[in-house]
């Protein structure tokens, strides 16, 4: 009789009690700050029709990085690689009854078929925070400020991370206004990075990433930006939106790198 391997599927993780203590702590900080800013929690199934990602997420994600299969009814199904298209679908479904602006957050598990390495697994949990219905730069400022407040709640010093921002050339006035507003809030660890490109194809405005400044962990901690046209997938009126995602793995790496608390 063949003996089964006790290891989990490659690229995913078992959460023993000591691991769950870290996850619960990270999730609690995420939820606390999001709710302090007035954001409400939502959720959805990890299964979505593949066509939800085919248009706007980018060919690389759909063709090379998703867990996609055909179900027993002959439908192409994908384990969600990101949450933003699901959010857009949910909002489109109730577009006429929802009261804008919406401030929503979620902590879903996401799946991507990629090479496991430090900071990356094939399954991870991610905080998603989005504001929908605000067309001006106050939404960008609010979202970046919220992300910064999370870092501060974890006890991070301002010199331990850098906020890198970019925007299309046509929006370089807008980008300057966002940076000025953030500086007025005391958020000064800012840098314009014209090489910054977010992986998803749906971004339309200012994009940003928080980077760890420690040479031992030189990577992005979280990132996001403005995406005003994603609702067009569902043939409904466009809704301006800004959001970001922060992964549990990269957050834990940051906390450990800087000897910050990882549990209550």
The arithmetic mean of pLDDT across residues 50-76, rounded, is 83
Across 30-44, 167-181, 230-244, the highest mean pLDDT is recorded for 30-44
Q: Domain 17-40+96-257, what fold? A: BirA Bifunctional Protein; domain 2 (3.30.930)
Strand ranges inside the chain, DSSP E? 40-41, 47-49, 67-70, 76-79, 102-106, 109-111, 123-132, 161-166, 190-192, 207-212, 220-226, 241-247
Mean pLDDT of 148-157: 98
pLDDT in tens, 208-238: 999 999 999 999 999 999 999 888 888 888 8
Percent of the chain with pLDDT over 90: 79
Q: Is the pLDDT of residue 57 over 70?
A: no
Q: Which whole number is the average pLDDT over 132-149?
A: 97
Band of pLDDT at residue 21, cut at 50, 70 and 90? very high
Question: What would the mean pLDDT of 3-29 be, rounded to a whole number?
Answer: 95
> Cβ–Cβ contacts within 10 Å for residue 30, how many?
23
Q: Domain locations in the chain?
A: 17-40+96-257
Read off the pLDDT band of 188 (50, 70, 90). Answer: very high
Mean pLDDT of the 36-58 span = 89
Q: What is the DSSP string of 94-117?
A: TTTTPPSSEEEEE--EEE-----B
Q: Is the pLDDT of residue 200 over 70?
A: no
Q: The dihedral of CA 192, 138, 233, 42: what is its sign?
A: positive
Instruction: Indicate whether 194 pLDDT > 90.
Output: no
Average pLDDT, the chain: 93
Quick check: 122 pLDDT over 60?
yes
| Residue 19 pLDDT | 96
What integer pLDDT is reported at residue 148 of this predicted model? Answer: 98
190 has a pLDDT exceeding 90: yes
Give the number of other Cβ atoms within 10 Å of residue 175's Cβ: 21
| For residue 199, pLDDT beyond 60 | no
């Amino acid at each position: 009789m063949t003996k089964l391997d006790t290891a989990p599927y490659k690229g995913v993780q078992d959460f023993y009690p000591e691991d769950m203590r870290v996850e619960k702590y990270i999730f609690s900080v995420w939820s606390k700050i999001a709710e302090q800013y007035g954001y409400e929690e939502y959720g959805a199934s990890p299964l979505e029709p593949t066509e939800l990602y085919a248009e706007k997420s980018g060919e690389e994600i759909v063709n090379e990085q998703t867990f996609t299969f055909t179900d027993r009814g002959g439908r192409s199904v994908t384990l969600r690689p990101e949450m933003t298209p699901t959010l857009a679908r949910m909002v489109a479904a109730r577009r006429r009854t929802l009261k804008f602006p919406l401030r929503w957050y979620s902590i879903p598990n996401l799946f991507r078929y990629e090479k496991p390495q430090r900071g990356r697994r094939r399954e991870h949990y991610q905080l998603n925070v989005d504001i929908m219905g605000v067309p001006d730069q106050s939404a960008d400022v609010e979202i970046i400020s919220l992300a910064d407040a999370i870092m501060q709640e974890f006890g991070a010093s301002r010199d331990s991370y850098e906020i890198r921002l970019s925007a299309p050339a046509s929006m370089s006035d807008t980008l300057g206004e966002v940076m000025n507003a953030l500086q007025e809030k005391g958020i000064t660890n800012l840098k314009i990075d014209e090489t910054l490109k977010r992986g998803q194809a749906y971004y339309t405005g200012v994009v940003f990433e928080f980077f760890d400044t420690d040479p031992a962990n030189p990577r992005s901690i979280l990132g996001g930006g403005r995406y005003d046209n994603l609702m067009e997938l569902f043939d409904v009126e466009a809704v301006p939106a800004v959001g970001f995602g922060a992964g549990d793995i990269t957050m834990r790496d940051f906390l450990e790198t800087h000897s910050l608390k990882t549990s209550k």
